């Protein structure tokens, strides 16, 4: 889909992939998001395997976007505002290595921008704890099972309950509130 149609691909891990699709889907210039698994050793992992934390994969979202309409830098800003970049053990109620945050770059330009945005966030003083989200080279990405794709659209009541009870929204509202 991506490069051959003039589109680009970005890959982000930010805990539960259900919560990572909506912030990107709302953006003008984002053509598609795909929930999946990346960063591990085994080929074609499924949710049951990844959920154990033993495969080394992270739940992630691949974002296919039109760089003429939205920049990678803008996607990075949305990513940072969707996660807790200081938590090495997962994200919010989702604990374990499969729920860690990470940016997976697809080329040198993405790497440079991701590292610069990470350094800028660290220097901002917004968070007291260190930024632990790594910037890593993209590897194989395996789409998650169909029932995980667009979960927030297919199961809005269950999704909203999960999202609200996960603590993600409370944390993000506090972390990104405007200073007085």
Q: Which residues are catalytic?
A: 16
Kindly state the DSSP code that residue 68 receives in the 8-state scheme: T
Whose CA is closest to 146, among 28, 15, 36, 24? Answer: 36
Kindly state the DSSP code that residue 160 receives in the 8-state scheme: H
What is the spatial distance between Cα 12 and Cα 31, in angstroms, rounded to a whole number? Answer: 16
Strand partners, 142: 37
Q: DSSP H helical segments within 12-167, as ranges?
A: 17-25, 47-50, 72-80, 108-124, 151-154, 156-166
Whose CA is closest to 85, among 178, 166, 172, 21? Answer: 172
What is the spatial distance between Cα 60 and Cα 12, in angstroms, rounded to a whole number? Answer: 5
Q: Look up tokens 């405007």; give the residue.
A: 178
């Amino acid at each position: 889909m991506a490069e051959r149609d003039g589109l680009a691909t970005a890959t982000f891990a930010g805990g539960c992939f259900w919560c990572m699709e909506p912030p990107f889907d709302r953006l003008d210039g984002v053509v598609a998001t795909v929930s999946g698994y990346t960063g591990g050793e085994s080929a074609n992992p499924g949710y049951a395997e990844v959920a154990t934390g033993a495969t080394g994969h992270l739940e992630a979202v691949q974002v296919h976007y039109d760089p003429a309409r939205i920049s990678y830098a803008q996607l990075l800003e949305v990513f940072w505002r969707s996660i807790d970049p200081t938590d090495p053990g997962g994200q919010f109620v989702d604990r374990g290595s499969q729920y860690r945050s990470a940016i997976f770059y697809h080329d040198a330009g993405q790497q440079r921008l991701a590292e610069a945005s990470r350094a800028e966030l660290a220097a901002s003083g917004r968070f007291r704890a260190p930024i632990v989200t790594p910037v890593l080279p993209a590897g194989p990405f395996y789409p998650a099972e169909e029932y995980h794709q667009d979960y927030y659209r297919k199961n809005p009541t269950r999704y909203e309950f999960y999202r609200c009870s996960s603590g993600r929204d409370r944390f993000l509202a506090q972390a990104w509130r405007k200073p007085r």
